[in-house]
Amino acid sequence: MRFVARVEVQLRPGIADPEGATIERALPALGFDEVHGVRAGRSFRFEVEADTEAAARTRAEELAHRLLANPVIEESHLELVAATSEVR
């Protein structure tokens, strides 16, 4: 079976986020006074071939935690769906 995985990689709380801070500083001049706490991260989507959803999840989590995120400063969050349904 083929499963669709979606991984969100975010900086850990407390780690400085210059990109998010820059966006937040620009927002009031662009008319978005009511937006705060901007954090920037990365996202990935990919497909995993596996016999079961549990196996696909294990492999996708290995990939997310070992290769897509830098575990020293980042945390990753995985969502998994069967490829027959839509992620979004």
DSSP 3-state of 15:
coil
Member of 15, 54, 67, 73 binding a second copy (CB under 8 A)? 67
- Phi and psi angles of residue 45, each rounded to the nearest 5 degrees, phi first: -125, 140
Tokens of 1: 């079976």
Of 37-66, binders to a second copy (CB under 8 A) are: 37-50, 59-60, 62-63
Phi first, then psi, for residue 7 (nearest 5°) are -120, 130
How many residues of this chain interact with a second copy, rule: CB under 8 A? Answer: 35
Q: Which residues bind a second copy (CB under 8 A)?
A: 6, 8-10, 20, 23-24, 27, 30, 32, 34-50, 59-60, 62-63, 67-68, 77, 88
